[in-house]
Amino acid sequence: MLFQKNNFQKAAQHENGINRRLFLAYVSALYSIPTIGWTANVNRRMKFAINPFSIGVASGDANSTSVVLWTRLAPKPLDPDGGMPNVGVPVQWRLATDEGMNNVVASGQQLATPQLGHSIHVTAGQLKPDTWYWYQFSVNGEESVVGRTRTMPPRFSNPKQLSFAAASCQSLEQGYYTAYDRMAEDELDIIFHLGDYIYEYTAGNQGNIRKHHGGEIESLSDYRVRHAQYKLDPALQKVHARCPWFVTWDDHEVDNNCAAEISEQKNVKPVDFLIRRAAAYQAFYENMPLRRTSIPAGPNLQLYRRGAFGQLAEFMVLDGRQYRSDQPNNDVRSPLNDAAFNPESSMLGSEQRNWLKQSLIQSRGTWNILAQQVMMGMVGMPSGDIPMSYSMDQWPGYTHERMELLRFMADRKISNPVVLTGDIHSNWANELRIDDRKMDTPAVAAEFVGTSISSAGDGQDRIADHNKLLSNNPFIKFHNRQRGYFRCTVTQKTWTTDYMVVDKVTTPGGKVTKRTSLVLENGSPTLQQT
Ligand code: FE
Ligand code: CA
């Protein structure tokens, strides 16, 4: 881990969200952990018996002139050290304008260090805007596959069309990645991952389609191995190599339903949870195509950020886990009571909320995309004796902040806000109002909630209470409980979302079909089903 003194200082500057006493407790707890020294040793001639690019390549966080190229050396990806010795190894990279890698326009070398799990995060810069590129890594005669990536259109241009897909929730134990096989056939400019990229559970806890390696993950090497096990999937590797991704996380990248320094398990001390979180965040950085601004500093990692596709769309990628206050009402489905309306509660934390508002005001995007974790629609369902209950882990647990944000969008006339959501293993298309219970008020934004890639196994088109769900919540314009993903085609005039569903994920070779499409017109958050 990055438990060096200069990183303590760096972490101290970033203590945003964690109170000072807790932060100091965290730092002193670290001294009981043996630190990994910085490598003095570099092995330039390391010979590999097995190709070390076993978990593939990826690119991400593209802007109009640069993109992050990622890989990790792991000849034995399920070994705690990935099969790598405790030395640095220089890795070469090349970027070309053709798939055959003949016309190389940029190249270089970066040291893969044991401190960062032998991961490589190259920022390939000074590139042409709105251009497709291919890239490849090599080390001492071993080569990676060739990945494809692209830059975004110039900042002030008006591109005709943006095509993207969104994925979430890919439990390896509960299903095959048939959805990704299909996604790899789509012509997409970018892909958003909205969280639950891995699950932290012990082997066999969720299913037995493909068993997790090892127990519940807690240490840095545990998290590294889990990420590597997921990335061994060939369909996932294929989609990573297709285009740049913009990733965020949800809870399972660390621990189910965690909130800032608070574990789901009530007996875990915040200081101990922060040590686990630091391990989880570091492994996340190491395994994702993130910019160096996201290098973790102790238990903190800067993940919320902006992106743009010319002036057609701007996107704000949110982090709804790192700074949130604890779920109210013991995280049990509850009515929208005072605790859910507590003005002190926050999903984003004040810094991120202010940044989001500023980003929305400054945006030149026709469409303003919020790529984030949990459902914003205030979906009420009867639960036990409660006539109408709401999820406290989702935005209704933070109703005050949610309403303030929707009111802000309405007051400031933010251009076409569209929320992208994962987390709940089901498809939803929602019209969002300041208060979704008041259908006579104007809609402010649209929300597309995408189902899981594999989590929760085969699913079904509809639940028994489907009609009741929709009549209780008339702002829901579509709901389905199969696996899959959604893809969006965005132009100046219209936004079209296709819900792609898989009939079976518990066996390979499931059939993927377009279940339905919903359309938005520029200027109106009203959803039309085609
Ligand atoms: Fe999930
Ligand atoms: Ca989740």
pLDDT score recorded for residue 38: 54
pLDDT single digits (tens) 292-314: 999 999 999 999 999 999 999 99
Q: For residue 170, report the distance from its CA to the centre of ligand 1, in Å.
A: 7
**Residue 371 neighbours by CB under 8 Å, 6+ apart:** 166, 192, 194, 246, 248, 315, 316, 317, 318, 420
Task: List the structure tokens of 48.
Answer: 């590999």
* Beta-bridge mates of residue 481: 460
What's the rounded Cα separation, in Å, for the pair 469 and 382?
A: 9
Which H or E run includes 6?
A: helix 5-13
Fold: same for 57-150 and 162-195+246-252+303-529: no
Q: For residue 425, report the distance from its CA to the centre of ligand 2, in Å.
A: 9
What's the rounded Cα separation, in Å, for the pair 346 and 354?
A: 12
Residue 8 has pLDDT above 90, yes or no: no
Angle CA(285)–CA(295)–CA(264) in degrees, nearest 5? 55
Q: For residue 251, report the distance from its CA to the centre of ligand 1, in Å.
A: 8
Task: List the structure tokens of 463.
Answer: 């639940």
Residue 23 has pLDDT above 90, yes or no: no
What are the angstrom distances between the C-alpha of 85 and each of 25, 73, 220, 247, 332?
A: 32, 11, 16, 29, 46
pLDDT score recorded for residue 384: 87
| Superfamily name with CATH number, domain 57-150 | Purple acid phosphatase-like, N-terminal (2.60.40.380)
pLDDT band at 21 (very low <50, low <70, confident <90, very high): confident
Q: For residue 127, report the distance from its CA to the centre of ligand 1, in Å.
A: 36
pLDDT band at 24 (very low <50, low <70, confident <90, very high): confident
pLDDT band at 33 (very low <50, low <70, confident <90, very high): low
Return the axis-axis angle of helices 20-30 and 270-287, rounded to nearest 10°.
70
| Mean pLDDT across 39-46 | 84
Residue 519 has pLDDT above 90, yes or no: yes
pLDDT score recorded for residue 31: 59
What's the rounded Cα separation, in Å, for the pair 222 and 283?
A: 9
Residue 2 has pLDDT above 60, yes or no: no
Q: For residue 332, report the distance from its CA to the centre of ligand 2, in Å.
A: 15
| Mean pLDDT across 383-400 | 95
Residue 13 has pLDDT above 70, yes or no: no
| Mean pLDDT across 35-51 | 79
What's the rounded Cα separation, in Å, for the pair 402 and 328?
A: 14
Report yes or no: 281 and 319 within 8 Å, Cβ to Cβ. no
Task: List the structure tokens of 32.
Answer: 């009981």
Q: For residue 452, report the distance from its CA to the centre of ligand 1, in Å.
A: 7
Q: For residue 27, report the distance from its CA to the centre of ligand 1, in Å.
A: 31
pLDDT score recorded for residue 16: 53
pLDDT score recorded for residue 19: 78
Three-state secondary structure call for residue 59: strand
* Cβ-based neighbour number of residue 13 at 10 Å: 9
Residue 275 has pLDDT above 70, yes or no: yes
Task: List the structure tokens of 359.
Answer: 């980003």
What's the rounded Cα separation, in Å, for the pair 414 and 417?
A: 7
Cα of 301 vs its chain's centroid, Å: 13
Task: List the structure tokens of 179.
Answer: 């959805």
Q: Is pLDDT larger for residue 11 or for residue 184?
A: 184
Would you say the C-alpha torsion 170, 381, 345, 526 has a positive or negative sign?
positive
pLDDT score recorded for residue 40: 61
Q: Which residues of 233-257 are buried (b: 16+ CB within 10 A; e: fewer)?
A: bebbbbbbbbbbbbbbbbbbbbbee
pLDDT score recorded for residue 6: 45
Residue 36 has pLDDT above 70, yes or no: no
Residue 176 has pLDDT above 60, yes or no: yes
Q: For residue 12, report the distance from its CA to the centre of ligand 1, in Å.
A: 31
Which H or E run includes 317?
A: strand 313-317
What are the angstrom distances between the C-alpha of 188 and each of 241, 487, 488?
A: 12, 9, 9
| Mean pLDDT across 356-366 | 98
Q: For residue 451, report the distance from its CA to the centre of ligand 2, in Å.
A: 11
pLDDT score recorded for residue 25: 82
**Residue 232 neighbours by CB under 8 Å, 6+ apart:** 54, 55, 77
Q: For residue 7, report the distance from its CA to the centre of ligand 1, in Å.
A: 32
| Mean pLDDT across 380-386 | 92
Residue 9 has pLDDT above 70, yes or no: no
pLDDT single digits (tens) 450-479: 999 999 999 999 999 999 999 999 999 999
pLDDT score recorded for residue 235: 98
pLDDT band at 361 (very low <50, low <70, confident <90, very high): very high
Q: For residue 156, report the distance from its CA to the centre of ligand 2, in Å.
A: 36
| pTM of structure | 0.95
pLDDT score recorded for residue 389: 97
Q: For residue 99, report the distance from its CA to the centre of ligand 2, in Å.
A: 37
Closest ligand to the CA of 171 = 1
Q: For residue 222, report the distance from its CA to the centre of ligand 1, in Å.
A: 19
CA dihedral in degrees (456, 460, 461, 466; nearest 10)?
-90
Angle CA(241)–CA(245)–CA(251) in degrees, nearest 5? 120
Q: Could you tell me which CATH number the domain at 162-195+246-252+303-529 has?
A: 3.60.21.70
pLDDT single digits (tens) 473-513: 999 999 999 999 999 999 999 999 999 999 999 999 999 99
Task: List the structure tokens of 277.
Answer: 């979180």
Domain ranges of the chain: 57-150, 162-195+246-252+303-529
Q: Which residue has the tokens 């994925």?
A: 167
Mean pLDDT over the full length of the chain: 94
pLDDT score recorded for residue 530: 86
pLDDT single digits (tens) 139-163: 999 999 999 999 999 999 999 999 9
What's the rounded Cα separation, in Å, for the pair 75 and 93?
A: 18
| Mean pLDDT across 370-385 | 96
| Mean pLDDT across 52-72 | 98
Residue 35 has pLDDT above 60, yes or no: no
| Mean pLDDT across 212-230 | 98
Of the candidates 138, 122, 135, 136, which has an alpha carbon nearest to the alpha carbon of residue 66?
122
What's the rounded Cα separation, in Å, for the pair 108 and 113?
A: 16
Pairing of strands 104-112, 89-96: antiparallel
Q: For residue 264, report the distance from its CA to the centre of ligand 1, in Å.
A: 15
Report yes or no: 228 and 176 within 8 Å, Cβ to Cβ. no
Q: For residue 256, report the distance from its CA to the centre of ligand 1, in Å.
A: 9
Residue 4 has pLDDT above 60, yes or no: no
Closest ligand to the CA of 170 = 1
